[in-house]
Structure 1
């Protein structure tokens, strides 16, 4: 899904409206439209939906990018990277609030601030991986779940279990989006390499050994540190995200890799 700025610009262009005309229809100030389109502010979904409706459009979310990187998606990378790290994640949060309000009323949207700060408060060692980690590197696709690779030593698993209990974690299934109860203990978590969870702060997937990697120690060596929500967050470097997605080989992963490799080519040397 395009970022709000690109989405609004395209809707206004197709409707043949000036910023002033769109603002008048939506009963808001032209400066609001201008700031959103320049990427200077991330609108609430109520505001974005109202502006799009004024242009004659409704929002339809799409989680899969096209099979080849489109120029507007690559152009959005620079805009995302110009934002503070926290703002990059805030855009993901705003998308999730809208998607879950519209489609999954029984489950909580992804609240990254609550999720990340809760894990940090429990002094949990983990690396953010997947599309959300890639977002911090400028990746334009929005995801509806956070993926982390925790350290698997007993002490860290105990801290993880405590954090998950605080977040009211349950096992996620498509048929029961609000989740199923499970034994949220360090011993139980150690029995599987992958856990798909839903929490009071949204979807959280635990991948102790992501495809193509050796797990936490492997990823932490090259991880990039970002300051978000008052805490230091380790995110897998883009090269390691690509390595994992190539090994997983799912259709979504293959599409992501095409775009991520283009991002690497465009990085300043």
Structure 2
């Protein structure tokens, strides 16, 4: 959720901020002020670290100075796909095209660890879909670790392999998406039916939340439904967004 610490964590990992305590390491070596290690990571977020008067194509050339593996030819191909004018100054780009510009940098940089902090900010549905397709295409050709921090959970659920949920600076879930979704279920019916189910069979399971609309009620539980007690009730798998909402509900 907002303020949980996602962006702060990514800034710490990539050395844009420094921790008050503890150390951040990569392969056993401390990341802080370590140029060789920092060349292996790349972060895009809402910040633009290039001079605002710089043009897009020049920014590609500058990126290659810091990350020699940056594929400028591939970046220009992506510009055509997204219809990004490389002669434009970065400051003149709309919010959506600012995101597109940064995503192109991230997809072209060719480093082992790429961090996307709200990568689809300002993007329309077409460009969001194109970004996800290109991300999967890039990963299938040349695998790398991509970390996506996003609020559009339902949209990204089909892309990600592992889920980390942070609540108020603490990691509360860190497992594969498949394992997480199979760890619980939703059960729906009338309010009296659900209350009866919870009182009789819910004590051995963890109730993480409920929703009520009119006389209908849905309960979200971690565990396995009691097959002998679900007659007349609707049981379904939790989707990732619903699970996230319930787990982070204060």
Indicate whether the TM-score tops 0.5: no
The structure showing larger relative contact order (alpha-carbon pairs under 8 Å, at least 6 residues apart) is: 1
TM-score of the superposition, structure 2-length normalised?
0.30
Greater strand content: 2
More helix by share: 1
Higher-Rg structure is 2
